Amino acid sequence: MIYSIRIDRNDLDALNNILFKHTPKENAAFLLIGKSTTNNIESFIVRRIIDIPDTDFNIRDGNHLQISTRAINAIISLCEVNHLGLALCHSHPKPLMSNYSVSDDIGEKRIANIFHSCLPNLPLISLLNSDQEYHARYWADNSEPKQIDYIKVVGRYIETIPLSSNTYKKHVVPELYDRQVLAFGESGQRRFMETKVGIIGVGGTGSAVAEQLVRLGVKDFILIDKDIFDVSNLTRIYGSYQNHTRSYFYNIFNRKRPSKVEIAKRNLYRINNSIKVLPLFSNVTTTNTCKALLDRDAIFLCTDDQWGRSVVNQLAYQYLIPTINIGVRIDSKAEKITGGTGALHILRPGNPCLWCYQYLKADIVANESLHLEERNKLIGEGYVKGLETNAPSVISLTSTIASMAVTMFLQLTTDFMGSNGNISALRHDILNGTINRCRSDSSSECICKKVKGFGDYKSLNTV
């Protein structure tokens, strides 16, 4: 099992400010944490920082600190009420002791015994910062602590701080990527090759994103789409050919035409047959399908339906998985384009979510989440308008937005834009040819705030 910590960059900076505000004395803080368990990775996700008042320390000097029993009991009660785990954080301002001390071992084991006797089903970890050198461990039950392998910091870019030799399998950079190495260096190219990506919807935008990513060097994909290839898809789906429009080409899932995910998978393998692709012929609103995304480092949200967008929007904040939402709308009248917008939203802690932008509509999400029979009944009675309508789509316009999204992926993985890469949303006016940065207010009552960091301890709106 590999163990990791996921934390928002703003939270990590705030935590470090707390830990070193009394230098040269040691200091401590608590974190409330959620948890995500998928495949062979167990991640502890930071929900909230709890600063410890000065009055709650029995001892605090340059070599030792001791937190009062009152403070320990209070934080355990807070964990119980919120059904969240706990991280014990402290500093070693002096570089003479960069790792855990014998005093740390004794003190943390004492707290672990108390914590697990009260809350046996919730996780307890510790994090030590010694002059920006991090160490972390997981106190599972009453056993000896397990080393945490890495910290994943999510901000304007994704930073991975390795804590053990198990963090990454080092990829050899092939000569194939020499031109990209000139732009991002070997370290940047390795980040592309190490990043696990999920793409929801492999139509006009999703198939373009997938093809660009595999050519960049991404090696691990999950593709999700419930649609079967349609004749009109040939004009905008990358990897599709005229043969796919013929009913005799091949039969998948007992249907006459292939699925979009199968076409996308075959296309990616044609470009690089050494990659890993998991095609899921399903809807992301299905619980097992949605949970398949939990080990991803980045997600591209290219689906048309609002229910699916709302589910992944919540997942992005609940599990701290950066997600790039892609939307293209073309307005036409009398067979003439009258307007059009391409939109990108970078969904991560600190950025507004799709509800904040009013990009999602509650009535549409509710209607889409109805059981099919119930929805058709209400449509027939006039209570619900039909939800599936054909909209204009042009490959050059969908590809433009897809390319913008992949550029945001470059920023997330390499920070090549620096401080200019702190982007919340981009809006492309198709008729004017302009691109503007956008940002919305974010309410403390919005779901993106309420679910942040809970991980598996809150449910998603799936079936």
H or E segment at 46?
Answer: strand 41-51
Those residues with Cβ within 8 angstroms of residue 77's Cβ, 6 or more apart along the chain or in another chain: none
- Per-residue pLDDT tens for 413-434? 999 999 999 999 999 999 999 9
Topology given in CATH for the domain delimited by 2-162: Cytidine Deaminase; domain 2 (3.40.140)
- Closest of 377, 384, 414 to residue 180, by C-alpha: 414
What would be the CATH architecture of the domain defined by 175-450?
3-Layer(aba) Sandwich (3.40)
Sheet holding 2-8, edge to edge: 146-147, 133-139, 124-130, 85-91, 28-38, 41-51, 2-8, 150-154, 158-162
C-alpha–C-alpha distance, residues 341 and 435, integer Å: 10
Rounded-to-integer distance, Cα 233 and Cα 393, Å: 10
Q: What does the pLDDT read at residue 373? A: 57
Distance CA 60, CA 25 (A): 7
Question: How does pLDDT run across 177-195, given as a tens digit for each residue?
Answer: 999 999 999 999 999 999 9
Question: Which structure tokens are listed for 146?
Answer: 């397990």
Whether pLDDT at 14 is above 80: yes
Give me the torsion for CA of 388, 392, 396, 402, rounded to 10°: -30
Coil, helix or strand for 259?
A: strand
Average pLDDT of 383-397?
69
pLDDT of residue 381: 47
Domain-by-domain residue ranges, the chain? Answer: 2-162, 175-450
Q: What is the DSSP string of 213-251?
A: HHHHT--EEEEE--PBP-GGGGGT-TT--GGGGSTTS--
Question: pLDDT > 90: what percent of the chain?
Answer: 77
pLDDT tens by residue, 208-223 = 999 999 999 999 999 9
Using pLDDT thresholds of 50, 70 and 90, give the confidence band for residue 131: confident
Q: Which of 98-102, 276-280, 337-341 is modeled with the greatest confidence?
A: 276-280
Confidence of residue 378 (pLDDT cuts 50, 70, 90): very low
Question: How many CB atoms neighbour CB 326 within 10 A?
Answer: 27
Query: What pLDDT score was predicted for residue 174?
Result: 92
